[in-house]
Amino acid sequence: MSALHRTLERRLARDVAQDFDQAPEVHALAVLRRGGHAEIVGVDTSCGPVVARRLLDLGFVPGARIEHIRRAPLGDPTVYRVADYEIALRRGLSRTIAVRPLP
* pLDDT at residue 24 tops 80: no
* pLDDT at residue 55 tops 70: yes
Helical ranges in 1-103 per DSSP H: 3-22, 49-57, 91-94
Q: Could you tell me the residue range of the domain that residue 61 belongs to?
A: 3-101
* pLDDT at residue 15 tops 70: no
Which range scores top for mean pLDDT: 20-24, 66-70, 72-76?
Answer: 66-70
Tell me the C-alpha to C-alpha distance, in Å, between residue 75 and each of 14, 70, 87.
30, 9, 15
Predicted confidence at residue 79, as pLDDT, reads 95
DSSP three-state, residue 90:
coil
* pLDDT at residue 26 tops 60: yes
Q: Give me the CATH number covering residue 89.
A: 2.30.30.90
State the total domains in the chain: 1
Predicted confidence at residue 46, as pLDDT, reads 82
